[in-house]
Each structure stands twice: as structure tokens, then as C-alpha cells.
Amino acid sequence: MSLTKRGDESTSYLEPVRERHATLVDLLDRVLDKGVVLHADIIVSVAGIPLIGVTLRAALAGMETMLKYGMMEAWDESIRSWETNYRKLKQRDFLKNDQVILDTLGAHFYKKGIYAAWRYGHFYLTDNTLFLYHETYDEVLLKIDLAQIRGMVVRSEKSFTNRTCEVLYVIVDNEKVHRLRSRDVHTLKNTIATFVADNGTYTGADLVIPEYEDSIATILADGEEVTHRGRLWHLYEENAAGSIANTTWRPGKLYLTNRRLCWWYQTESKFLLDIPIESICGCYEDEKSWSLFKQDTPVLDLVYEQDSVKRVASFSGQGVEDWREAIQSAINQNGTQPVRAKESCPKCNQLSDIEHLLNKGCSHCGWMSARMQRKALGAPV
Amino acid sequence: MSTGRYLYCIVPGAHKIKFGPAGIEDSDVYSISHNNLSVIVHECDAKPYDSKDEKVVAKWVLSHEKVIELAMDKFGAVLPFRFNTIIEAEDEQEVDNHVSNWLTEDQETIKEKLEKVRGKAEYGVQISWDVEAISNEIIREDTEFQALAKEIEKMPEGLAYMNRQKLENLLKKRLEKEADIYFKQFYSAIKGCVDDVKIEKVKREPEPRQMLMNLSCLASDGARALAKELEKIEKRDGFFVRFTGPWPPYSFVEG
């Protein structure tokens, strides 16, 4: 965008504009809102904007927003009723003549291609359908036929930002799962439940949710089962051609099956890691700095072999300790004893067993990890 | 039989004037006089003009404006009525009396107001700035912002996002402060060269423009002094002035 001024115009000073189209809105501002108002009972259209103004303004000045925020409270009755009717018209359009039993703000999780997000709107529950409606766009975002609901359950979930929120899972006929949020999901669930009780809908807390659009389901082999899953960050190394290697923490999901460990990269919707359990040499808890502001974060370091090269994959997030145990027991169950991975001491460069090096220190030169040093000082680790 | 009178404006002095078919829907416009005051009207039914067609309404509004402008040119002072102001009565004879009665009741305030706007007109002044350009300037001149922006580049994506939000909020506050300073500066400069100022609600503008102030000014002599002041503001980089008028003094007759 350019900031160039219009140059020195021929006029010695700014001339006021009175071009018809450029100023119609300016005129309306004045003619409709201002001017002498008569305060007498002999007048036909009294104070406030006459009805006529509304129609015109709606077309010209984005009136809807003004209506919504009640910026013009001094309207006379006729205008207020016009507005009410207008709203009714808009909202009840999809509801037909059904009575609204519950009406609350909420959201549903929407996923299509690479787009995935909570879409917010207004839940309207009738005795046969649940609607999620977006008023501004006048769009029904979600429509669930109550007769098709097979089960419902509320789960407390943690998001990546570590905020806990309650999510209502609604499972419908074709095993499709809807994730819904609302101000009070329990009320929503219970109200729906009163209408679907006769349909054999299961609402117990132990309801098993078919994995919600679970990415792992697409790559599972016969007899393969997910034993552990969770949201974990992965220290991902970007190795674009011609550029310097750049490692950053990326959000995703870690899955442990009875055969392998996979990490799903949320942003690009694909698996970036797929490691057979027999290739895993071991896993360790460690601390790494996340950034300038977040030091000493517990991380899970996984040593594995790929193409005869040992590699390390780092994960961070909730329950790192549980993950270490889960992976460890998966390795043990696999029959193969964990390969005692060797690593060179950062100080003297002598090869030692990794676990020994990290937990006991280097037996050659006495090097200790930062974590051990702190432990030795009695500081919390 | 028409039992309503559509009101355009009040002018000083007793006149028996006929404007001809200059009004809304080519209505015949004339004056009703009483107590050395005249009201410019046309005969109509006692119900407001209403249409869903915006073109029709726009035409009506323009006719309303045109009649008032005619009167303003002719009599030098007008009190414009709001669009769709109609006085009604039970029968034809009564309705002109209603108008006269009202003129009598309110004659003092009316005359006072007419005196105030005599020889003057209303001008609309809307001053906007280019938020993007001004923001860039703030960042360019502020080493603290620059340092923070550099630091963010090194952060992992999630954290960088949060910090960018923080930076944006900081910038927003700075912009508000700047806007406040400019508002005061421009307002006092403008107030000094007009007879009266009304502060109006600012309006939304297409990005990156943002309206800083929306004023209605009452000024005489073609608002030359005001125009010179606005010219100075318009010359600043990143600022835009919208200057409209002369209007009938719609904003200075209320109350």
C-alpha cells in the first residue's frame, strides 16, 4: 500500500465534497438521525429512526451489527417489533414449527482435509433434532437426528494448551462420532437423553468411543492393537535441502501398538515416525530446554535403530513417565532384551552404557549429567 | 383530502412562498407562516413514507434534502426536519392550525436556534489513518519492539505465536495512545476555526484504514479556515481527511 499523497492539488485548500454518490451515506446520517424532532402527539412518526430508515440503512450501512448490539435503544415500538420478527424469521427457518427445548451456546469439532477446528454457534434442541446454528452466517453447522443417536458420553479432556474441558461425544448410527462442547455439556446430554431413552441409546460413563477420526486406525495391520496413546510434542528436525538443520517442537499424537511406535504430526496430518518395537534400543527420561523461556522440561528420549544408524527421537508433554514405562514393557514383552545402547561421554569421549552414563555418571572421568548434579545437591528434579 | 403535512424545515420571517413540484414524489412545496416564522411543507396523507426499495427511499431522502437546500439558499437560515416528520390532524382545516400552534408554542427556542445557524452551514469531517503504516512507523522507531520481534523469530512456533499476540497487544495499546494524542490535537485545531463542533460516532472503514474522528462542524464563510486546517492534516503521511458539505445544519438543531 502506498502512502503517496495526491500531490499538490491545484486548489489552495481542501474543498468539501458534495458528489452525490460519495455523500449519500453522509446525507443519510444526517437526515435520518438528526434534524428537528417534534415532541407532540400530533406527529405521525415520532422520535427515533422512522421505520423507513431501517430498511434503507440495512442495505447501506451494515445495520445488522447495530441491531445486534442494541446501539439504538431509543427506537419506537414498531422498529423493535420489526427487529424481533426479523430475528425470529431467521432463526426459526430451519426449526420449522418445532418447539425449542434447549437453547445454549456451544461448538462442534469440525474436520475436513487439513482444516480442523471447533466451530462455534448456538445449539437448538427440539424433540427430534439437535442443531448447531451460526447466527451471523445464517448457517446450520451441524444437524443430528436424535433417533440415530446410539450413545453419548462426557469425557474430560486436556488440550495442547493443558486446559481441561468437558467434551460430549455423540455416537450416531454409522459409527460417526461428534465431539461437542457447550457451556454445560451435562445438561445438554441429559436433556437429549430424555428424548432418546426409548431408542436403546447407551449413556453410561463406560461407553467405548470408536476412536474419533483416529489417524492410527488407517495404518493398523491385522492383529495390531493400540496399547497407549496420547498427545505429545516431538522435537522435529527439519532438513530442507540447502538449509541449516532446524529443530523445533511440533504438536502431535504418539501411539504405541503391540508392534510399533508412531507419531502423528498434527499440522501436516501425517505420520512422521513409524518405528517397529524391535528397532527400539531404549528410552529414557531427560530434561531439555524448550526455549529461552521454558527450561528443564521433562522429555522422553527414545533411541532406535534405522538403516543401521542409531537415532534419537525426543517427545515432551503429559505423562512422560508413563510413556517410558509403557515403551519399556513393550520392549520387554517383545522378547528381546533392550539393547544396551552405548554413548560417548560428553567430557572424555569414552563409550559407556547410556543408562549408566545418565543415571550414575561416567565411570572413566566422573562426568555427571546436569540432572544428577542437581539431585546430588538435593534440589527437586 | 389530505390530513397530513410533511415538514421540510423552518425558516425565519413570514413568507407566502411556492416552490412548485420540488418535493418528495413531486409534491407541491409551499410555506405555512405564523408569528414571523415559516414552515416549508407539502400536503400528504397522515402516514409515513415507507418502501423496501432502497433506490426509492434514496430518491425521497434526496428530495427532502434538495428542498431544504433551496430554502437555505433563499433565506440564509434553516432548521431542517428529520426525514419523515409529518404532522396530522382530524381534518384538512385543522392541520394547518396544528402547524401554526406548534410554531407559537416553541417560537422562542426556534428563533434562538435560527439565529445561531444564520449564515452558517454544517460540514462533515472524518479523519482516518492508515493503521498499517502508522504501526510500521512505531515499530521502526521503537528499539524495544524491534528487540522483542527479533527474539520471537528464534522461538519455537507455539511460543512465538503467544509472544506475537503479546506484541500485538502492546502495539494496539500504543496505537490507542497515539490515536488519543492525535484526536486531541486535531480536535483543538478544528474547534479553533469553526463556530461549533459535534463529535459523532466513528465508522468502520475498509482496512487498513481506521477512522480516528468523525465530526460535524458548524461554520460560516464556506469554512475556509477549517479547510486550511484540514489541508495540513491531509498532508501528513498516513492520514486521510474526508470533508463533506455544506449541509443544512442537521446536527445543530436538536434538543
The pLDDT tens digits for A193-210 are 888 877 777 877 777 676
Residues of B in contact with A50 (CB under 8 A): 48, 82-84
State whether B234 and A5 contact (CB < 8 Å). yes
A 153-192 → B contacts, CB under 8 A: 160
A9–chain B Cβ distance below 8 A for any pair: no
State whether B227 and A13 contact (CB < 8 Å). yes
Looking at every residue in chain A, the average pLDDT score rounds to: 71
Tell me the pLDDT tens digit for each residue of A201-237. Answer: 787 777 767 655 466 767 777 778 778 888 888 887 7
State whether B87 and A38 contact (CB < 8 Å). yes
Residues of B in contact with A74 (CB under 8 A): none
Cis peptide before B208 (omega within 30 of 0): yes
Q: Which fold has domain A102-199?
A: PH-domain like (2.30.29)
Tell me the pLDDT tens digit for each residue of B199-233. Answer: 988 888 887 888 999 999 999 988 899 999 999 99
Of B130, B156, B242, the CB nearest to A249: B156
Q: What's the distance, Cα to Cα, between the start and end of chain B in Å?
A: 33
| Distance from the A175 Cα atom to the nearest Cα atom in chain B, whole angstroms | 34
State whether B50 and A250 contact (CB < 8 Å). no
Q: Which residue has better confidence, B190 or A259?
A: B190
At residue A76, the pLDDT reads 40
At residue A60, the pLDDT reads 39
Residues in chain A: 381
pLDDT tops 50 at residue B154? yes
At residue A214, the pLDDT reads 62
Domain ranges of chain B: 4-117, 120-252
HSE-CB at A204 with a 13 A cutoff on CA atoms is: 5
pLDDT tops 90 at residue B190? yes
CB A253 within 8 A of CB A263: yes
DSSP string, A55-98: HHHHHHS-HHHHHHTT--TT--HHHHHHHHHHHHHHHHTTTTTP
- Interface predicted TM-score (ipTM) of this complex, two decimals: 0.75
A138–chain B Cβ distance below 8 A for any pair: no
Identical fold between A102-199 and A223-338: yes
CB A158 within 8 A of CB A166: no
Q: How confident is the model at residue B120 (pLDDT cuts 50, 70, 90)?
A: very high
State whether B159 and A31 contact (CB < 8 Å). no
CB B121 within 8 A of CB B223: yes
At residue A376, what are phi and psi to the nearest 5 degrees?
Answer: -60, -30
A72–chain B Cβ distance below 8 A for any pair: no
Cα A340 to chain centroid, rounded: 40
Right CATH number for A223-338 from 2.30.29.30, 2.60.40.1180, 3.40.50.1000, 3.40.1480.10? 2.30.29.30
Overall average pLDDT of the B128-137 stretch: 89
At residue B222, the pLDDT reads 84
CB B167 within 8 A of CB A40: no
A105: helix, strand or coil: strand
List the single best residue of A8, A18, A30, A73 to mutate versus B (max B Cβ within 10 A): A30
State whether A250 and B157 contact (CB < 8 Å). yes
pLDDT tops 90 at residue B29? yes
**Rounded to an integer, what distance in angstroms lies between the CA atom of residue A105 and that of residue A87?**
17
State whether B250 and A56 contact (CB < 8 Å). no
* The one-letter amino acid at B249: P
At residue B143, the pLDDT reads 84
Residues near B112 by beta carbon (within 8 Å), at least 6 away in sequence: none
At residue A231, what are phi and psi to the nearest 5 degrees?
Answer: -90, 120
**Rounded to an integer, what distance in angstroms lies between the CA atom of residue B72 and that of residue B79?**
9
Of A27, A34, A56, the CB nearest to B82: A34
**Rounded to an integer, what distance in angstroms lies between the CA atom of residue B65 and that of residue A25?**
13
CB A365 within 8 A of CB A346: no
Of A28, A35, A40, the CB nearest to B102: A40
Overall average pLDDT of the B167-176 stretch: 86
Domain ranges of chain A: 20-92, 102-199, 223-338, 340-381
**Rounded to an integer, what distance in angstroms lies between the CA atom of residue B183 and that of residue B79?**
30
Residues of B in contact with A34 (CB under 8 A): 80, 82, 250-251, 253-254
State whether B82 and A44 contact (CB < 8 Å). no
CB B203 within 8 A of CB B244: no
State whether A5 and B237 contact (CB < 8 Å). yes
Cα B39 to chain centroid, rounded: 23
Looking at every residue in chain B, the average pLDDT score rounds to: 87
**Rounded to an integer, what distance in angstroms lies between the CA atom of residue A313 and that of residue A301?**
6
A 246-285 → B contacts, CB under 8 A: 248-251
- For residue A342, the cross-strand partners are A353
At residue A92, the pLDDT reads 58
CB A253 within 8 A of CB A279: no
Walking along chain A (381 residues) 10 residues at a time, the average pLDDT comes out as: 35 59 72 62 36 37 39 40 52 70 87 76 88 81 88 79 81 82 88 81 73 65 80 75 62 86 81 88 78 69 84 84 87 63 76 77 80 71 46
| Distance from the B243 Cα atom to the nearest Cα atom in chain A, whole angstroms | 5
**Rounded to an integer, what distance in angstroms lies between the CA atom of residue A88 and that of residue A95?**
10
pLDDT tops 80 at residue B235? yes
At residue A18, the pLDDT reads 58
| Distance from the A35 Cα atom to the nearest Cα atom in chain B, whole angstroms | 4
At residue A121, what are phi and psi to the nearest 5 degrees?
Answer: -175, -155
A 296-335 → B contacts, CB under 8 A: none
**Rounded to an integer, what distance in angstroms lies between the CA atom of residue A210 and that of residue A183?**
25
SS3 per residue for A318-368: CCHHHHHHHHHHHHHHCCCCCCCCEEECCCCCCEEEHHHHHHCCCCCCCCC
List the single best residue of B99, B250, B253, B254 to mutate versus A (max A Cβ within 10 A): B250
Of A3, A52, A294, the CB nearest to B84: A52
**Rounded to an integer, what distance in angstroms lies between the CA atom of residue A38 and that of residue A50?**
13
Which helix H or strand E contains B113, and what residues bound it? helix B107-117
Q: Tell me the Ramachandran region of residue A323: left when phi exceeds 0, alpha when psi lies from -120 to 50, beta otherwise.
A: alpha
Of B84, B88, B243, the CB nearest to A16: B243
Overall average pLDDT of the B37-61 stretch: 84
Whether the CA torsion A191, A195, A197, A201 is positive or negative: it is negative
At residue A290, the pLDDT reads 63
**Rounded to an integer, what distance in angstroms lies between the CA atom of residue A180 and that of residue A154?**
9
Residues near A224 by beta carbon (within 8 Å), at least 6 away in sequence: A257, A258, A259, A260
Residue A211 DSSP symbol? P
